[in-house]
């Protein structure tokens, strides 16, 4: 009843009145991220009372071609896409406080998120944290061909950590 008063005759099954593909872009699959952990030991000097220091590197790389970015053809017809970047972000249930001083990190919704690869420094014994969640952040600029201002699009996708 209410829909007829608005001039809408058919609302079932609630399809939009737009017959072209919706959305700006999508990815073809869940991204896969490789993790390489490296360790280096800096020997301590017992005469000086120093202990060994362990430097552990966590290097993240998006596995190519685990997923591809596909832009909506309707978007490409009216705008150019520039500055495409993909970043790996890692989440930890318990944030290792030693990391925050030596790793690029952001605060998203009250959670510390590490961006890209990072290192850990420990003394006297090594330990390594594996992320609880890995995501890939995709960002790019959309530049309309009619001269309108550019827009930056950012979207984050859950990824699989493969090793």
| Single pTM value for the model | 0.73
Instruction: Give residue 117's pLDDT.
Output: 77
In the block, tokens 């950590």 appear at 161
Tell me how far apart the alpha carbons of residues 103 and 71 are, in angstroms, rounded to a whole number. Answer: 32
108 contacts: CB under 8 Å, gap ≥ 6: none
Residue 74: which H helix or E strand, with range?
Answer: helix 73-78
Cα–Cα distance, 64 to 117 (Å, whole number): 17
pLDDT at position 12 is 64
pLDDT, block means (10 residues), the chain with 163 residues: 50 67 89 86 74 77 87 94 93 60 73 76 63 90 96 94 86
Strand ranges (DSSP E) for 21-145?
A: 25-27, 32-42, 53-62, 69-71, 79-91, 105-108, 111-115, 118-122, 133-144
């Amino acid at each position: 009843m209410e829909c007829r008063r608005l001039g809408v005759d058919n609302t079932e099954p609630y399809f939009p009145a737009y017959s072209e593909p919706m959305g700006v872009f999508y990815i073809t699959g869940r991204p896969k991220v490789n993790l390489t952990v490296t360790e280096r030991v800096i020997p301590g000097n017992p005469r000086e009372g120093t202990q060994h220091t362990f430097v552990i590197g966590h290097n993240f790389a998006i596995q190519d071609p685990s997923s591809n970015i596909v832009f909506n053809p309707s978007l490409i017809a009216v705008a150019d896409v520039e500055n495409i970047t993909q970043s790996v972000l890692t989440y930890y249930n318990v944030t290792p406080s030693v990391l925050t001083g030596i790793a690029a990190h952001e605060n998203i919704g009250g959670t510390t998120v590490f961006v890209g690869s990072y290192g850990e420094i420990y003394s006297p014994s090594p330990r390594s944290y594996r992320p609880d969640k890995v995501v890939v952040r995709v960002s790019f600029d959309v530049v309309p061909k009619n001269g309108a201002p550019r827009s930056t699009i950012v979207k984050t996708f859950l990824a699989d950590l493969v090793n």
